[in-house]
Amino acid sequence: MAQKIRFTKMHGCGNDYIYVNTMGQKVPNPQEAAIRWSDRHKGIGSDGLVLIGKSPVPEADYTMHIYNADGSEAMMCGNASRCIGKYLFERGLTDKTDIRLLTLSGVKTLQLHTINNKVESVTVDMLEPVLENESQYIASRSMGRGTFVSMGNPHYVIFTDDVDQVGETGRMLEKHPAFPQRCNIEFAKIVSGKTADHTTIRTRVWERGSGITQACGTGACATAVAAALTGRAGHKSDIVMDGGTLSIEWRESDNHVYMTGPAEFVFDGEIEI
């Protein structure tokens, strides 16, 4: 008899994933399930599969495991972490508005902003960015120098007037020899100039293992950090992506990057495995 798995489809700024609560059911082969279920013609359709679990360590409350549409496991996803916060609170699994989420890139703290017991937005402490010598990541002289930033997963940010090159160039750069573990690629353009409060940046992203996505939380953080590092922005930026806008603050007080944005339910369902 075929086993049925209950799932919830959610999205953060259009970055959509299939969420499975593994505290009451198991997904035997999540890599294979991610590939099959993510297919937008023959499956549920998504950028990947996210498994929610109870934390095995006291430093965190819950866990997140995320598998891209190609079955590869990701270290972290900012949009998915916000969705998990909304899921846990609105489905009655917790009454906390500060949740510690264990990911493969460490414990992230989620601050839920609620109105009438509904999560309107979530702020995620994405911890400190990790920077490397960008000179080794010059992928092409024609597109100029990019900036490498790790937000628990690798990102290469290119400032350009042509953000729509994301498909052709992003596909090539993801697997460039400079990135032995592959890389997320952002194409960014300053929309409004640097101010004391914030800068608006238009960004399109090619996600490692998923291709073009509507939004990428870690990519938005990497873009904001890269803009500040290169003098294009201050420490607060609004990152306008295909699916919506994320507000990013790189705080000087603790060197942490904080991401704030929405999370939405799409539908619930069951699928056979």
Cβ count within 10 A of residue 87: 22
Are 126 and 146 in contact, with CB atoms under 8 Å apart? no
Query: How far, in Å, CA of 234 to CA of 249, rounded?
Result: 9
Confirm whether 221 is a catalytic residue.
no
Among 86, 69, 67, 87, smallest CA distance to 77 is for: 67
Q: Residues 77, 83, 183, 221: which is the catalytic one?
A: 77
Query: How far, in Å, CA of 173 to CA of 234, rounded?
Result: 27
Query: How far, in Å, CA of 66 to CA of 220, rounded?
Result: 18
Q: Residues 13, 83, 183, 216: which is the catalytic one?
A: 216
Confirm whether 183 is a catalytic residue.
no
Tokens of 119: 């999560």
Q: Three-state SS for 90?
A: helix
Residues with active-site annotation: 77, 216
